[in-house]
């Protein structure tokens, strides 16, 4: 048991050293980027794509990173995004990225949890792994109100605000699933008494929740409903369907 604890204690120390090195090597790209991280057992990639499309409505150069493999990979991709002069970088983080502390010491603008408790897990993530992300104290936290672990994650502090989305009537953004078609899905979203329809080419049964996660994040960042509707509709997934 002691050996296991000793090894787990080495990982953050090693990651801190790596983060310091690549931060300097790549000229600290995070200093000028608003980094949005999506994570969860399901839907993190789709939500990241939605957010990229929404952000692109204002900034055509918005960057996207899907499941970085290592600290060097993450910093390299952020550096490329930073060089374009954009303000935003959207990163989809799997359990590997979280467990290996890839975001150690990095300012996170928004942390988004996409877990859907009613769907099967594609990428099993522990509470401890997701807690690593919230320990970065993001400016905004976006949580799935339907997640069985919501009450755990809502206790983690964010610098500015924590918002929720979901089917639960107490969610800040209420998601009402609509029809699922062969080529897409619909949903109704309600936020601050505004009710509007969204549609996607994604056919995942939980697509309504992923649209809700992206919409709540966008509202937190100051976007309008029409920008959200257009951004979500603009995402056309490749085949086979992404996570």
Per-residue pLDDT of the chain (243 residues; tens, 9 = 90+): 444 444 444 567 888 899 899 999 999 999 999 999 999 989 999 999 999 999 999 888 899 999 999 999 999 999 999 999 999 999 999 988 988 889 988 999 999 999 755 445 555 566 667 777 888 899 999 999 998 889 988 999 899 999 999 999 999 999 999 999 989 999 999 999 999 999 999 999 899 999 999 999 999 999 999 999 999 999 999 864 444
CATH for the stretch 2-172+208-223: 3.40.1190.10
Q: Given this model, what pLDDT does residue 127 score?
A: 62
Domain coordinates in residue numbering, the chain? 2-172+208-223
Could you tell me where the DSSP H helices lie in 67-171? Answer: 71-83, 95-99, 127-134, 150-153
Rounded to a whole number, what is the distance in angstroms from the first to the last CA of the chain? 35
- The dihedral region occupied by 122, where left means phi > 0, alpha psi between -120 and 50, and beta the remainder, is alpha
CA 142 – CA 158 distance, rounded (Å):
10
Q: What is the pTM of this model?
A: 0.89
């Amino acid at each position: 048991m002691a050996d296991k604890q000793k090894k787990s204690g080495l990982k953050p120390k090693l990651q801190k050293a790596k983060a310091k090195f690549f931060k300097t090597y790549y000229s600290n790209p995070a200093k000028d980027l608003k980094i949005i991280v999506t994570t969860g057992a399901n839907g993190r990639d789709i939500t990241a794509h939605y957010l990229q499309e929404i952000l692109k409505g204002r900034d055509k150069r918005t960057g996207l990173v899907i499941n970085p493999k290592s600290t060097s990979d993450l910093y390299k991709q952020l550096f490329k995004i930073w060089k374009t002069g954009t303000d935003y970088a959207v990163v989809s983080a799997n359990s590997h990225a979280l467990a290996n502390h890839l975001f150690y010491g990095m300012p996170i603008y928004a942390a988004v949890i996409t877990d859907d408790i009613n769907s099967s897990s594609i990428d099993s993530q522990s509470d401890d792994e997701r807690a690593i992300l919230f320990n970065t104290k993001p400016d905004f936290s976006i949580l799935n109100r339907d997640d069985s672990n919501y009450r755990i994650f809502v206790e983690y502090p964010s610098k500015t605000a924590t918002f929720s989305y979901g089917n639960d009537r107490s969610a800040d953004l209420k998601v009402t699933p609509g029809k699922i078609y062969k080529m897409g899905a619909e949903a109704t979203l309600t936020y601050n008494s505004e009710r509007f329809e969204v549609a996607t080419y994604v056919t995942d049964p939980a697509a309504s929740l992923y649209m809700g996660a992206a919409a709540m994040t966008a509202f937190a960042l100051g976007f309008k409903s029409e920008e959200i509707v257009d951004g979500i509709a603009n995402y056309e997934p490749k085949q086979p369907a992404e996570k």
